[in-house]
Structures are given as C-alpha cells and as structure tokens.
Amino acid sequence: MSTTVQRLEIFTQQVRRDILRMVHAVNSGHPGGSLGCAEFITCLYQEVMDYATDFKMDGINEDLFFLSNGHISPVFYSVLAHTGFFKVEELATFRKLNSRLQGHPTTHEGLEGIRIASGSLGQGMSVAIGAAEAKKLNNDSHLVYTLHGDGELQEGQNWEAIMYASAKKVDNIISTVDLNGKQIDGATDDVLPMGSIKAKFEAFGWDVLEVKKGNDIPSILEGLAAAKSRTGKGKPVCILLYTEMGNGVDFMMGTHAWHGKAPNDEQLESALAQNPETLGDY
C-alpha cells in the first residue's frame, strides 16, 4: 500500500467516525449516503483538487466543488473541517440551533467551503455549469467538480443542465454520480427506474467513465485522474461512481434503511468499534 493511499484511508476512517457521532448526537441526519461517499470526497480534498483554505466565495484561480445532494452534509462538513476550512470542534454543533452546520449546507451563516445552499435536489448541476462558464470567461484554467445522487437524477432540472453543458461545450466540469442504487424510499429501480444512466449521459453528449469500485481509494484516484485528462476536449465529463450506502458499518450496508436514520447508543458503539479513531475526535 502506498503512503498516499494509507494516508487517505486513515483520513476516511476518521470521517466515518465523525459522520456517525454527528448524526447520533442529534438523532437526525443522513449517515448512509455520507458513509458511501467518504472515500470520494476525501480523495477530492486531500489529493486531487487545487484550492485554498483561505476561503473566498468567488473561487477564482482554484478548483471548485459543489455538493448537489446536500443531505449528505455530514461527510462534507467532516472533510472540510479536517482539511482546515473551519475548526474540527465545530462539528459538535451539527444540526443544533444557531449552528452554521445545518442539515443541508447553507451560505447565509458564512460557513467556509460552502458556496451554495444545497439539498433541494436537482439544482447543483445548473449552478456548477454556471461556475464553469464563469471560469472560461475569466480565463481561469481550474476545474469545477460536482457530486450528485443517483436518485437525484429523477429531478428533471438535471437533464436540462446536462443538455446545456454539452451543447455549449462546457468541458471544464467533472460531474460524479453516486450510484448506490438506493434512495429514501427504497431501491432506485423500484421507486423510479432510470435505465442506463451511462447511456443517457452519452446520449446527451457527455464523456462518461465508470469507477466500479467506488469505495476503493486507488480506483477513485485513478478514475479522477482519467476524468481530468479528458477535460478541455469539447465535452463535459461524467464519472459514474458505484458505491455502497453505509460503507464501513456492517449493519448499515446493503439496505436503504440508513438513508436518513441515526444510530442509537448501542448501534453507535458497534459502528465506532468498526472504525477506530485515527485523527482525534472533536
């Protein structure tokens, strides 16, 4: 195992602990998708993106990330905190009154690292494409990254934006879809089948690649590097990331039940035992 992968795995393990403790503390939140995307967002912020922790809303001369499926805010907050955007201790305020760390990320409290309010699903793609076009107008060569849920693609606004991006050759964006096959009411194929998401993105003019092992750090790094190499060639780029909801906690995996449910005391103890402390709890 390389030192880079080992470092990222240690970081990810702490992020999982944070997610579990945050939602348990207030008996509220979305641990399933957060755990499933812990490796991906860790790789983005710890290895791939070029950005400044001296946060400025305009994001000029740095890579940008937009979380469209904002309900998985616990993983986003944890990564931002451990990366240096704000103090790790602030994670203890998650979803509490007057906290900057609301259930869905918002901007009005000035939380560093958050550029849009998200969680009203389907809107992140539109915002990110606008940011990507702004970078082109500013001759800024940096990239825009996004993350979306597969269930979120049932929202029609996504497809208007996806169609627009290819038509206007917005080729400085890399949009990742978290393909865990689950949403709050069950399997995506049971709630509203979408057929082949790969075929759909390709039909809309995107360059699509797949990361079959979406919770494997080397596979994620390889996929992101491949995606980056495809930018600037006239097409927007999509990564289909096949993940496991609740990854890293045995009783949360293989089910949609933990999409929006917090563990009780006994369940938290079991989950934390599977993910020993690495960077220090808040």
**Domains, the chain, ranges and CATH?**
3-273 (3.40.50.970)
Mark the ranges of the chain whose per-residue pLDDT is less than 70: none
**DSSP strand E in the chain: where?**
64-67, 144-149, 173-179, 182-183, 186-187, 207-211, 237-242
**How would you list the strands of the sheet with 144-149, edge to edge?**
64-67, 144-149, 173-179, 237-242, 207-211
* Contacts with 56 (C-beta within 8 Å, 6 or more apart), sequence order: none
Q: Residue 1's pLDDT is what?
A: 75
Q: Residue 219's pLDDT is what?
A: 98
237-242/207-211 β-pairing: parallel
Q: Residue 184's pLDDT is what?
A: 92
Instruction: Give the residues across from 242 on adjacent strands.
Output: 179
Q: Residue 109's pLDDT is what?
A: 87
Q: How far apart (Å, rounded) are the C-alpha atoms in residues 184 and 106? A: 22
Is residue 80 within 8 A of residue 46, CB to CB? The reply is: no
